[in-house]
Amino acid sequence: MNVIQVEHIRKRFGNKDALSDVSFSIPKGEIFGFLGPSGAGKTTLIKILTAQINPTSGQASVFDQPAEMMHQSAQKMRFGILTDNSGLYERLTIEENLELYRQLYDLPRSSIDKVLQFVNLSGERKKKVSLLSKGMRQRVMLACAVIHEPELLFLDEPTSALDPVNSAHIYKGLRYLNQNGTTIFLTTHDMAEAELICNRVAILYQGQIQTIGSPKELKKQHRENVVCVELINGETCELPIDEGTADQIAAWMKRGLIDRLETKEPSLGDIFIKMTGSELL
């Protein structure tokens, strides 16, 4: 069953296409990464899928309902969203912020304790939000987005500007949610992040999907057909993967001459550059 289905979506702002003929689907239980540089159209797509804006043409459905229906309270109970411009109430404590969301989602009191444990902030619950670090704020915002244990979670650049420790906290939480059945739609320009947690990724550039697949598949597709060999005398060489190379490597191995042997696998960042001809910004 597909949780998200997008068909030929186009969104035009003025005379510029923010999205152009975008199609893909996300099955239940997947962590799907939408990758691209700033301004590629990632946030626009999240806004379409959460009924904040309408597409110029094409169709999008979420939970088998047209995306425009996502403004209904019953649908909003089913998804959570964390965007780079989500906000918190600065004069309230972490607990008071979560209390608001608990009541809006009509949840039991225990949901606050549970979500605070999940984002590892149980000891900080009485702290005012205005006193929190950026990383802690991001974790509180994640807690607000997932307090109702949504079936689908939209994350727009969830770890942008976070240090590795805080990013690791967020990744751990996302994996936990996913293991418990939450489908995650993640946008990022951080290729390493996508590689680390996504089951499948789509690379978006200038409003169009350039490629789509699992990080493993994409790497395989774009792998250079060579093997790198480093000999014990420090000499390195790149050889084509064929029968002749296999014989050569076997001979070196018999003589104990090989120090390191690896296939040359591109990162998602390399694939992005190869497909778009531009660096990520």
Partner 1 sequence: MSISLKRAGAIFVKDYKEFSRNYAVSIMLIFPIIFAFLLRGTGPSLVGAFGLVLNISFVILTSFAQACLIAEEKERNTLRSLMMTPATTMDVLIGKSSLVFVMSAVVLAIATYIYGYEPVGIWAFVAAIMFSIILYTAAGTICGLFSKTLLEASLSIIPVSIVFTGAPYAGMLLADDFPIFKVLEYAPNIQLVRLLNISNTASTTGDLLKPLLIILAWAVVLTIVSVVLYQRRLKDE
Query: Which of helix, strand or coil describes residue 264?
Result: coil
Q: Which of 89, 105, 107 is closest to 97 using CA atoms?
A: 89
The number of residues that bind partner 1 (CB under 8 A) is: 29
Nearest distance in Å: CB 258, partner 1: 56
- Interacting span for partner 1 (CB under 8 A) from 24-32, 73-81, 166-174, 213-221: 73-81
Beta carbons of 140 and 97 less than 8 angstroms apart: yes
Q: Which two tokens stand for residue 242?
A: 């064929």
Strand order in the sheet with 208-213: 79-82, 152-156, 183-188, 31-35, 200-205, 208-213
Residue among 91 and 255 whose Cβ is closer to partner 1:
91
Distance of CA 13 to the CA centre of its chain: 25
Question: Which of 8, 10, 28, 76 contacts partner 1 by CB under 8 A?
Answer: 76
Nearest distance in Å: CB 92, partner 1: 6
68 vs 222: CA distance, rounded Å: 37
What are the strands, taking DSSP E only, across 42-144?
A: 57-62, 65-66, 79-82
Q: Which two tokens stand for residue 141?
A: 């915002």
- Interacting span for partner 1 (CB under 8 A) from 16-24, 86-94, 227-235, 239-247: 86-94
Does residue 64 bind partner 1 (CB under 8 A)? no
106: which DSSP letter?
A: T
Nearest distance in Å: CB 23, partner 1: 23
- Within 32-61, the residues that bind partner 1 by CB under 8 A are 47, 50, 52-54
Does residue 280 bind partner 1 (CB under 8 A)? no
Between 101 and 130, how does the x/- string for binding to partner 1 read (CB under 8 A)? Answer: x-xxxx------------------------
Q: Which of 210, 202, 245, 253 is closest to 227 using CA atoms?
A: 245
- Within 129-168, the residues that bind partner 1 by CB under 8 A are 141, 144
Residue with tokens 């990162």, as numbered in its chain = 267
Residue among 8 and 76 whose Cβ is closer to partner 1:
76
134 vs 140: CA distance, rounded Å: 10
Strand order in the sheet with 236-240: 236-240, 226-231, 258-263
Between 169 and 208, how does the x/- string for binding to partner 1 read (CB under 8 A)? Answer: ----------------------------------------
Catalog residues that contact partner 1 under the rule CB under 8 A: 47, 50, 52-54, 73-74, 76-77, 81, 83, 85-92, 96, 99-101, 103-106, 141, 144
